[in-house]
Structure 1
Amino acid sequence: MSDAVPPGRRRFLTVGAAAAAGAAASGQLLLAGTARAAQTPLPSGVFSLGVASGDPLPDGVVLWTRLAPDPLNGGGMPDRAVVVEWQISEDSKFRRKVKRGYAWARPEFGHSVHADVRGLSPDRHYWYRFRTSGQLSPVGRTRTAPRPLVSGSHLRIALASCQNWQHGYFTPYADMLAQDPDLVVFVGDYIYESPPATTGVRRHEGSGEPYSLVQYRNRYAQYRSDPHLKAMHAAAPFVVTFDDHEIDNDFAGDIPQDPDKQTHDAFVARLTAGYQAYYEHMPVRATSVPDGPHIRMHRRLDFGRLVRLNVLDTRQFRSDQATTQAGALDPAMTMLGAAQKQWLLNSLRGSQARWNLIASQIMMAETDLKIGDGKLWYYDAWDGYQVERNALLAEFASVRNPVVLSGDRHLTMISDLKRDFADPGSAVVGAEFVGTSISSAGDQDPVAFHKEWDPRMGDNPHWKVIDNHRGYHLFDIRRAGIDAQVRVVNTVTKPTSPARTLAKLRVDSGKPGVRQV
């Protein structure tokens, strides 16, 4: 990743990086801090939330943990900074250690640790762990990206989104773990802000929706306690972005879904708390340290010359959702905002990668809900921002192998991307995989689903596969093509469930679109 930091945020990020990543200015200070920590032991169980890694580079990766002996009650840590040692090894038994260092776990960042480790070798597995106050964390495994100019032979990516604690167990991660991806791309709705429900498979902590920083921390801690999610985080690096439920359903910029119930100042405070908690629980770099009610999440990562991954933020900079078809066609409507849109165009135009992936939380292809003449769209998706969407799709015509990875919909919807969905004869310019949810919407009746949705296929000829099982998508990316699998489980009402491949698809290099095989 080589994105420049906006000048207005450089001073803030300099301070934030020191606090969040915890890089000490001198070894003597760290040794002194370690000695003081040894004199005042911490409560047991500080590594209750496990470990994670993310945003791999050819020479480095972010290592994450959060000290939380009492995770559902604010964390349970003393109100002081704690020095945490991190170790990286070439083997799982730590007989061949290659790097070690120290980071501060500070109370103002929920005692989270984001160690941005550099100096590693490209395209290889490493094992890592943390130590503090005589306690040792679980062991995690990560993988660095290939060298910048290497073409690369293979990259396996898992696409996940939408994990609602109350709707089911995070069962699909058990199968994902068995498939051993090199990278997990999570495109939003890591938590849900909904209040506890008596009818769910599991019950949210707390007594209502989270609004304060402590409440958001508790909600993330509950989700992080899921054993399948915890194991997957420890097995492979994640690249994450958020959608709406990390803050508030269907919010747009600084506008909540219910502005008559949440004042502007109250919602800005909620954004500030939600983004802070999000950063504290994700394996991301210090460039994502929040600046009040703002956070930098759009970024790109390169995997040699095989894949460029562009990660979007489709919440912070968007216009408020349209409510009519005329509104959806308004050229002033923006999903990305001017700066992010230009950043994306520059990244696509300047890419030397064989595959240009775009992680978009929201579905890009058209969904026409009306059977027969006329159109009926979801205004929260890209259908509600059609002029900007169509301009982006026009750019895809000159981009090498664009493929969009999306979430949000709680169903699998795999499509050709067309330059103009209003024109049935319009050219295909790319492919989109809308991944189903990990657990959101729970188990659903497939017969009822297809009875409702199959009649719409004629109005949406670009759809190739639609389905409502829970699961994730798995991609084996090579220079010649992408082989995709829709992996689903039978149920999320139980902690374990058999998994299977529901569909196999192929995207061939140089041939826009996707086909079922």
Structure 2
Amino acid sequence: MTSDEFPRQAARHTRRRFLTVTGAATALAFGVNVAHAASAGAATPLPGDPFTLGVASGDPLPDAVVIWTRLAPQPYEPLGGMPYQAVRVEWQVAADERFRQVVRSGTATAQPEYSYSVHVDVRGLRPARHYWYRFRIDGHLSPVGRTRTAPAPGDRPDRLTFAVASCQSWPDGYYTAHAHLAAEEVDAVLFVGDYIYEYGISAAGGLRNTADPVPDQFRTEADTLDRYRLQYALYKSDPDLRAAHQNTPWIGTWDDHEVQDNYAGVYSKALDPVEDFTVRRASAYRAYWEHMPLRTPAPQGPDYLLYRRFTFGRLAEVNVLDTRQYRSDQADGDLWKPDNPGRDDPARTFAGAQQRSWLLDGMRASRATWNLLANQVVMSRMDLDASGTPTYNMDAWDGYAAEQAALLDGLAGLTARNPVVVTGDVHAAYAMDMKRDFDDPDSPTIGVELVGTSISSGGNGVDVSVNGQNFLDHNPHLKLVNERRGYIVVELTPHELHAAYRAVPYIDRTGAPISTIRKFTVEAGNPGLNPA
């Protein structure tokens, strides 16, 4: 296939904005049978542009990257408005934005049983360079996405830059932070959980107060495969989220809201029977895979191996954790609670022994200067201590003290690997020194934890709430609390880490500016945060 087979004038700038998708308010009915025959395009004419949910790329390797789209000309209709048949989608990857130098091309089959999602693992690429990609079906051309491969294993880059983002509740406000993130020149976005929220959505769309009512089928909570697919379609209707995906490869992991708030392993927050909740988890995991730029195979049941590792030359490794799938039920409920015996029970798991061994063994073998842990919930000790009694979050690492201690013990022996934990979940920006013994402020620092605030969850937020001030007052290893919305930009060099905390002043309307609220540096070989 030559580049001339795709009209060059259709190449678009990767930061362009798209119109928000609207759809008819109809009930979703999804067939369960597999369509076996694939045709070149669709035998039935499509009712409109199938690329309403945009394009994305992710999980970059030195010679490969995943490119993604989902065909949905009418994203809130049954089957996304697609005819019930498997269809072939053409794709191209080029070394230039105008596709004069097409380096890889082919076709992929979009199957109805996977919601017409397309995941192409493009191989044979060159390390540490940008590529552009696009899809076509039946004369419809997708937006052009930009991606980037990782450096070769032995390369020694002068610098790498990652953005850390999480928690993007659609009705809590606009994704203005994503609009700014789309303009950042970063090597990859580390998205550490809560891509969707499972809750029902009002006709007004919460703080968005939308002019076009949100369709009726969004009133109920997502708990089936069809309903999770609808939620992803609504979230991906946002032009700023699509722009952030379109410009940069993402490395993602889930937290709880991709399934259910504060679920733990096979235990439902609502105390549903395990058999019923396992079905719900399987549906949620499948919908997550369908809508993210992840490699095949897709989940085939309630289990999915999501933890994985990416090497960026000799400068950095990124270890992606999964702290939801393998954990025991929370101790004494899933809220902030005083210390209790269940919290210290060594039989209770969090990441699980297998994942913990994978992580620590991999870090011991790492040849990289910096070793990042893309982690969902706060790993460091955080004592709310509002009443003078040590009070911890039972849903975070603090709620699983035995495994928390085992991991910190392991990291204490790996300070030469420069461990850096990047975290989401709490809708606030924190910067923390990780201590060998959090009860002793003079204990050695074994690494740092950088907690990014939310993209939108929690609404406009404040600079520091009452609880935020309590954290600052009772946790001497905590160096920053800010509760506005935004993300972190982490720049790595062979000698230093630079962390810039970026935030917007409001999200209940569009157009907010972005600013850097605080900067820190960390010296390689000398763990601990330094003001910049």
TM-score for the superposition, normalised by structure 2:
0.88
Aligned to 1:269: 279
Paired positions, count: 481
Q: 1:181, CA displacement in angstroms?
A: 1.3
- Picking from 55, 60, 63, the partner of 1:56 is 60
Aligned to 2:420: 403
Checking the alignment, whether the CA contact within 8 Å between 2:360 and 2:411 is kept in structure 1 is no
Deviates more, 1:142-151 or 1:362-371: 362-371
The whole-number CA distance in structure 1 between the counterparts of 2:441 and 2:126 is: 49
Q: CA RMSD in A?
A: 1.7
The whole-number CA distance in structure 2 between the counterparts of 1:109 and 1:481 is: 43
* Runs of 4+ displaced beyond 6 Å: none
The one-letter code of the counterpart of 2:437 is D
- Picking from 486, 491, 505, the partner of 2:520 is 505
- Picking from 188, 197, 202, the partner of 2:208 is 202
1:203-240 CA-to-partner distances (Å, cap 9, x unmatched) read: 76512101111111010000011100001100000000
Matches within 5 A, 1:290-305: 290-305=299-314
Aligned to 1:487: 502
The whole-number CA distance in structure 2 between the counterparts of 1:160 and 1:484 is: 13
1:313 paired to 2:322: yes
The whole-number CA distance in structure 1 between the counterparts of 2:42 and 2:197 is: 38
The whole-number CA distance in structure 2 between the counterparts of 1:279 and 1:271 is: 12
Checking the alignment, whether the CA contact within 8 Å between 2:433 and 2:528 is kept in structure 1 is yes
Q: 1:450, CA displacement in angstroms?
A: 4.1
Checking the alignment, whether the CA contact within 8 Å between 1:157 and 1:185 is kept in structure 2 is yes
Can you give the 5+ residue segments of structure 1 that lack an aligned partner in the other structure?
1-23
The whole-number CA distance in structure 2 between the counterparts of 1:458 and 1:318 is: 30
Aligned to 2:179: 174
The one-letter code of the counterpart of 1:415 is M
The whole-number CA distance in structure 2 between the counterparts of 1:333 and 1:455 is: 29
Can you give the 5+ residue segments of structure 2 that lack an aligned partner in the other structure?
1-35, 333-338
The whole-number CA distance in structure 2 between the counterparts of 1:423 and 1:332 is: 26
Aligned to 1:343: 358
1:56-114 CA-to-partner distances (Å, cap 9, x unmatched) read: 00001000000001112241111111001110111111111111011110011100000
The whole-number CA distance in structure 1 between the counterparts of 2:437 and 2:105 is: 53
SS in 1 for 2:65: strand
Matches within 5 A, 1:22-421: 33-34=39-40, 37=41, 39-74=43-78, 75-197=80-202, 200-202=206-208, 206-259=218-271, 262-287=272-297, 289-323=298-332, 325-371=340-386, 373-399=388-414, 400-421=417-438
Checking the alignment, whether the CA contact within 8 Å between 2:182 and 2:245 is kept in structure 1 is no
1:256-302 CA-to-partner distances (Å, cap 9, x unmatched) read: 1011xx22222111111111110000001115x21311111100000
Instruction: Tell me: CA distance 1:301–1:456, structure 2 relative to 1, closer, same or farther (3 Å).
Output: closer
Checking the alignment, whether the CA contact within 8 Å between 2:522 and 2:530 is kept in structure 1 is yes
The one-letter code of the counterpart of 1:380 is D
The whole-number CA distance in structure 1 between the counterparts of 2:197 and 2:529 is: 32
1:125-179 CA-to-partner distances (Å, cap 9, x unmatched) read: 0000001111110000000000111121111100000000111011101111222
The one-letter code of the counterpart of 1:171 is T
The whole-number CA distance in structure 2 between the counterparts of 1:97 and 1:351 is: 35
Checking the alignment, whether the CA contact within 8 Å between 1:464 and 1:515 is kept in structure 2 is no
Among the aligned pairs, what percent are the same residue? Answer: 47
Checking the alignment, whether the CA contact within 8 Å between 1:88 and 1:127 is kept in structure 2 is yes
Q: 1:48, CA displacement in angstroms?
A: 0.6
Instruction: Tell me: CA distance 1:99–1:423, structure 2 relative to 1, closer, same or farther (3 Å).
Output: same
Aligned to 1:11: none
Deviates more, 1:318-327 or 1:140-149: 318-327
The whole-number CA distance in structure 1 between the counterparts of 2:223 and 2:183 is: 37
Instruction: Tell me: CA distance 1:456–1:125, structure 2 relative to 1, closer, same or farther (3 Å).
Output: closer
